[in-house]
Structure 1
Amino acid sequence: MKTNYYIILIVLMISCGEKSKTEKEPEVDIQGAVEIIETALDTLPKSVHLDFTKVIANIQTKKLPQFEDTNFDSFNDEGDYDEVDVNALKLDQIYPDFNSEGHNYRAISIYTIPVNTNFHTIVTTVKHGDNEMESVLVNYNAEGNVLAHQVVAYDEIAEGMSRTVSRISENKVMVNRIFWSNIREVEEIEYEIRGDGTIKKIDTKRLNDSFKDFALINGVLKDLKLDWVQTKTNLITTLEHPHNPNEKIVVIPEVVNEGEQYFDLNSYIVIADKRSGKIMNKHFESYQSNQWVSDAIELRKIIIDTALYRINEKIDAFGIRVNYHGMSRVNPYLNKTLSLFIKSGDSLKKVLHNYSVMNYGGEWDGDCDGEFVQKRKTLVPGTKKSDGYFNFMVNNKIVETKDYKDNAGECRTEKSFHFKNTILEFNGKKYVETNVESFSYPEYHPQKTESLQIDNFDIAHSFELNGYKIVSGNYIPEEGKRFASDTETETNWGDRLLMLDASNEIVFKSQGVGDAYLFEPHFYKSDISNKVIIICQKAYEYPFGGEIFVLENGSLKHIGPLDIEGSDEETYLTEIVEINEVEDTLVFALKSEEVIINPGSEDTLKTNKNVIYVYLNNELVLKMN
């Protein structure tokens, strides 16, 4: 009634002001009239726009990402409740029975978050009766109209069987619906917040089904005082400890910052008891030093490395690899890092920090012309120590690629391969890379001998070398047999390598390799070393590896087979092998993009991710990344 009165008064005043100018104008108290009008305007109902703007201006703003887990424990008593303008927020559009008698809805908490400048985002907590409570995220346009809404938290105390929590970022909401029955069950639902304020469900998965070790991870998270929703679940990984089958390595990436196409992760690396789930050892590192940051260079994968990294006679390390991928088409980029960890009391000590073991990059025109460089590193523990820990020899395979158009307009590719060796040394805190003297063994061709004869031996190849004769061939078998009874056996027959002294006496005779089509010695020598490395290339209709011998100080020794070839059958092992020596370690690497492991038997084709053979401590070992 008061409002109507003021409106009538204003109308009358305006009407009085429109009297004929011929009439004598009465004196009017103008100041008093203005005060009456202003008072009347103040008492008029404000528009929804003004109410909503006032609400937005006066409520608390929280930062992103926001972990929403509001529940009954968030409030001690009603004194903790906020004053919430239900009408301005149009909560009756979200809860149609909000104002209905008997439903007992009450908005008790409110805050805003900076999701997008195109609309306003408000999270309101609503209590429903005495036993239920939920928080709802609502997007509003500038006029305060509801664009979309989604429940982001829920709690109930009647049965205590379910709960909802969420992680809200710039462009998405990750909701976890938690159910308790015999076991804890977690359903993860991902929603996209679009630029127009609408919300769309894009993925749903049951984490119990997604993780074989769900119960173990759940226990680890509980001990770390984390919830699933606080983690990047697609990057969580577990693996049985490679050195202890009773333990599991668990990697937990905790979300710290998150937005559209970027995130920052803290890292928890833990070793847990396989049965009880109890954390035995733990390492925490923030995103500011662990490099677990994803932006234009996307962090795509975290892998537990099962390779054996021997630190000293009593300690083995395990590795964590992280894969990064650049998003540019014309400037491609890939990087993979390796970190090594060892046990230290109830902690884990990081002894190798984010060491790049694979790097690929370059630039091209998007059509053909371009240049690219790929580096792949293989680590091999050595015998020398620095501050109590073994050095690691690093073999770096470098592939340079050039794409270009020929005169006919066809796109052509040229590749070159070379290798570089360095050392990782422990400085008391961590491993650091240092340059080291290394030398290569290029192939050379000693003088052939033509007139040599050996009784009952068919000579295929014969060379003069350092006063000795190096001969390959086979003993002539007896008629009807495949071997010569006086010099061979059922398990030791066929092509072999001999060394003869100046008197043509046999001073070395290798094992026979059977009836090979080819068993040809190739020689490799360095000006720095007095060693001569001999690889006898084996072949039938196709090549199938080689046997390695080392001639040093007049003694010839067989060190083992190279059961490897390149993928091109027209190119033999001895044409693409590169031999280097680093700190008394011989390294045999192949200049090829693909290799065949165990050619002639298993014929396993693999991408050559710097596959090498290493001869160390009188043992020839195959190393693969």
Structure 2
Amino acid sequence: MKNKCLIIITLSIVLFYACHSKVEKNEHNETQISTIDSEGKVNAHFTFLDIWKKLPLKQLPLDETTNFDNVANDRFLTEEEKVVLKLDKIFTDYSQYKDAYSIRSAYKLEFSKRFYSIVINAFKGEHELEIILINYNDSEDIIDYKVIAYDEIAESISQKTATIEKNFVTIIDKTDLEETVIEISKFHVNASGEFNIVKDVFTSTIRPNEAILLNKTYKDTIQFNSYNDDGDYRLLFGKKDFQEVILIHNFDWEQEKKYNFSENETLQITWKMDSIWIAGDGETLDFKETIIDAKRIKK
């Protein structure tokens, strides 16, 4: 009888540990499954906001000059964190070359309460480093991103730095070959979190064969057609060498006789290419011919 009881107790202990081990194995396997479910949704143990809250906030304006000599060596992202941040939308070859990537979360910025801004450092192999500014919407999707700094130590011929302001990012590209070449690009960060390049050379139907400079004053002759004051900007329509021209105006033409022109009158206009904000489109910065003054040319 004692032997039977001993056998039963022994079998119970064996079964208990076997079941317990099986449960532990199953639980371990569950943590290793993909963080993307069958519907393509992130199945992580933390959220985008968990990552966001842990990042240090840097105040604007600031100079972004991260390179191999000064880059920090902490806060490297796990595979799960990379999925939550949807970095496969930026590094399209990541699944193929993920062993070559090391990515760390650097800091966060606050351009607006309407979207989130995160800066990451991406090591591409041992010789390339990209600093990337990423804007996310409330749905945690990437709105837009921009490589704002870059360093490479294979040949040490290319480097990128940036100055970040409240609504603008200015990027300086430096290339050292036989001579040093520096290119400067400026981007406006609109209210929707998109990056729009700020140009300084333009084209215009008023002078179609000439490069037009921002805020430089020009004088030309046009034929007046009409005013249209019904939109977000008040417009003057005319023709120059049979081509339609449209300029933004601020004339009180109904009250001031000198600006109350008749159709086909010949005008001498003073104008410039000026900045405007496109309403209802994330307050996007744009540029448009703007008339400063106009007067009739008497025949």
TM-score (norm 2): 0.51
Query: Separation in 1 of the partners of 2:51 and 2:162?
Result: 24
**Residue 122 (structure 1) aligned to one of 114, 118, 125:** 118
Q: How does 1:116-515 map to 2 (within 5 A)?
A: 116-203=112-199, 367=252
- Aligned partner of 2:107 in structure 1 is 111
- Aligned partner of 2:75 in structure 1 is 82
Q: Residues 102 and 148 (structure 1 numbering): CA distance in 2 closer, same or farther, change over 3 Å?
A: closer
Query: Separation in 2 of the partners of 1:99 and 1:410?
Result: 69
Amino acid at match of 2:86: K
Amino acid at match of 2:118: I
Deviation per residue, 1:100-119 (Å, 9 max, x gap): 34751011342110012111
Amino acid at match of 1:52: F
How far the C-alpha of 1:66 sits from its partner, in A, is 2.3
How far the C-alpha of 1:159 sits from its partner, in A, is 0.3
Amino acid at match of 1:120: Y
Query: Separation in 1 of the partners of 2:94 and 2:165?
Result: 28
- Aligned partner of 1:62 in structure 2 is 58
Amino acid at match of 2:144: A
- Aligned partner of 1:94 in structure 2 is 90
Give the SS at the match of 2:159. Answer: strand
Amino acid at match of 1:161: I
In the alignment, structure 1 segments of 5+ residues that lack a partner are: 7-44, 206-233, 235-299, 302-365, 369-404, 412-625
How far the C-alpha of 1:73 sits from its partner, in A, is 0.6
- Aligned partner of 1:23 in structure 2 is none
TM-score (norm 1): 0.25
Amino acid at match of 1:192: H
Give me the CA root mean square deviation. 3.6
Query: Separation in 1 of the partners of 2:99 and 2:198?
Result: 33
Amino acid at match of 1:165: T
Query: Separation in 1 of the partners of 2:104 and 2:184?
Result: 27
- Aligned partner of 1:52 in structure 2 is 48
Give the SS at the match of 1:164. Answer: strand
Matched residues, percent identical? 26
Aligned pair count reads 177
Amino acid at match of 2:114: N
Runs of 4+ in 1 over 3 A off after TM superposition: 1-6, 45-50
Q: Residues 103 and 201 (structure 1 numbering): CA distance in 2 closer, same or farther, change over 3 Å?
A: farther
Question: Quick check: 1:49–1:143 contact (8 Å CA) kept in 2?
Answer: no
Bigger strand fraction: 1
Query: Separation in 2 of the partners of 1:168 and 1:104?
Result: 29
How far the C-alpha of 1:197 sits from its partner, in A, is 1.8
Q: Residues 180 and 171 (structure 1 numbering): CA distance in 2 closer, same or farther, change over 3 Å?
A: same
Bigger helix fraction: 2
Which has the higher relative contact order, 1 or 2, with Cα contacts under 8 A spaced 6 or more apart?
A: 2
Deviation per residue, 1:373-410 (Å, 9 max, x gap): xxxxxxxxxxxxxxxxxxxxxxxxxxxxxxxx9xxx96
